[in-house]
């Protein structure tokens, strides 16, 4: 076995999207190799009663999940527990297959431990992804399904795309996520308005009793984001995921002028917006924090600020397969240091102190 630092040097010689395909090939192989999978699970997966929660009536053995965007076609689910994740989110899926935006569309910035992507919901389409998903669901960790409209679907028909997707995936996942916050589908973020969100969640709750969450962008003013999230919750949303990637290109010197930035450059921006949201929404809905989380201290701070669960993706590229285990181990240490018996006692602790 050689270290991830060695593997990273090799992977970083390839274009980021090519490196992703290599990682996908390796993780698919890992998921199908019982011995290797068992070894990696034993090494990386933390199952501890202090971290276990019941959320939406679903058991989460640890609070760290894989964010959407990594496993777009539900091909790597079997390997996710081996990487230590307590849950995984597939997608974003669209009703019809789409190639996404022109290449190159993914860029890495190692000095900033950040990534920029303009993928554009490239995926095999709902029909094929659902076939992949049905091969593994139900799985030993919860699975979320992140859904978005096709690029060619006009705004006035967007509701129809989400209706199709909810009907497709509602019986083959543990929760659904409405993605109207990606910066890589033209005009998608225009759907982040109260009228559309109300119509969407009223419709969604008529279609299924499965938990449905809204994922928001980090680039809105806090008040606008809070009002939108309140609107979603009032219309039936079961939770909020904050945040998606950012189009604040001032965060990384000499980055591209298109696509969304994620990774360490997003830590402060995402964390600040999450904090503002939680002040208004904590205790009223489930909050999941994502954006620039790659260590236990960052995850724990989001938890104390009101996050029931956290998600990571870009950090995995730079930190490797031991990242999630380290995050969970650090959370356990911090819980003990603060005198909390269970993670549930730490959730929102910073808000309860006030």
- By annotation, the residues acting in catalysis are 182
User: Length of the chain in residues, anyone?
Assistant: 354
Handedness of CA 72, 73, 75, 81 (dihedral sign): positive
Query: What stretch of H or E contains 347?
Result: none
Please give the torsion angle defined by the CA atoms of residues 233, 237, 239 and 245, in that order, rounded to the nearest 10 degrees. -100
Contact 192, 215 (CB under 8 A): no
E-state strands within 184-249? 212-216, 239-242
Please give the Cα distance from 120 to 124 (Å, whole number).
Answer: 13
Handedness of CA 305, 306, 307, 308 (dihedral sign): positive
Nearest C-alpha neighbor of 64 from the set 86, 42, 79, 88: 86
Task: Using DSSP, state whether 286 is helix, strand or coil.
Answer: strand
Intra-chain end-to-end CA distance of the chain, in Å: 49
Query: What stretch of H or E contains 107?
Result: strand 106-109
Task: Using DSSP, state whether 243 is helix, strand or coil.
Answer: coil
Residue keyed to tokens 């959370």: 331
Q: Per-residue b/e over 162-191, b at no fewer than 16 CB within 10 Å?
A: bbbbbebbbebbbbbbbbbbbbbbeebbeb
Please give the Cα distance from 59 to 73 (Å, whole number).
Answer: 24
Within 8 A by CB and 6+ apart from 285, the residues are 229, 233, 237, 238, 239, 240
């Amino acid at each position: 076995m050689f270290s991830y630092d060695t593997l990273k040097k090799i992977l970083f010689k390839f274009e980021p999207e090519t490196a992703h395909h290599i990682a996908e090939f390796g993780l698919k192989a890992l998921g199908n190799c019982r011995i290797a999978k068992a070894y990696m699970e034993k090494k990386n997966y933390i199952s501890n009663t202090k971290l276990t929660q019941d959320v939406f009536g679903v058991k989460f053995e640890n609070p760290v999940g894989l964010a959407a965007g990594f496993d777009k076609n539900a091909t790597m689910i079997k390997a996710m527990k081996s990487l230590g994740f307590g849950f995984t989110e597939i997608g974003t899926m669209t009703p019809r297959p789409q190639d996404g935006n022109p290449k190159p569309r993914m860029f890495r910035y190692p000095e900033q431990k950040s990534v920029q992507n303009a993928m554009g919901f490239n995926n095999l389409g709902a029909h094929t992804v659902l076939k992949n998903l049905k091969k593994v669901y139900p799985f030993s960790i919860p699975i979320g399904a992140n859904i978005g409209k096709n690029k060619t679907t006009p705004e006035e028909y967007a509701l129809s795309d989400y209706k199709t997707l909810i009907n497709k995936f509602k019986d083959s996942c543990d929760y659904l996520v409405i993605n109207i916050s990606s910066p890589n589908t033209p005009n998608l973020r225009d759907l982040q308005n109260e009228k559309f969100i109300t119509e969407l969640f009223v419709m969604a709750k008529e279609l299924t009793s499965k938990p449905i969450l809204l994922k928001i962008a980090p680039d809105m003013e806090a008040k606008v984001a809070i009002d939108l999230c309140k609107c979603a919750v009032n219309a039936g949303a079961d939770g909020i995921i904050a945040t998606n990637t950012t189009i604040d290109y001032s965060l990384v010197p000499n980055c591209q002028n298109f696509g969304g930035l994620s990774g360490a450059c997003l830590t402060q921006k995402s964390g600040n917006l999450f904090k503002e949201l939680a002040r208004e929404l904590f205790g009223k809905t489930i909050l999941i924090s994502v954006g620039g989380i790659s260590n236990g201290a960052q995850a724990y701070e989001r938890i104390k600020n009101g996050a029931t669960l956290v998600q990571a993706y870009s950090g995995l590229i730079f930190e490797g397969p031991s990242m999630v285990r380290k995050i969970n181990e650090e959370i356990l240490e911090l819980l003990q240091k603060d005198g909390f018996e269970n993670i549930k006692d730490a959730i929102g602790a910073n808000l309860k102190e006030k």
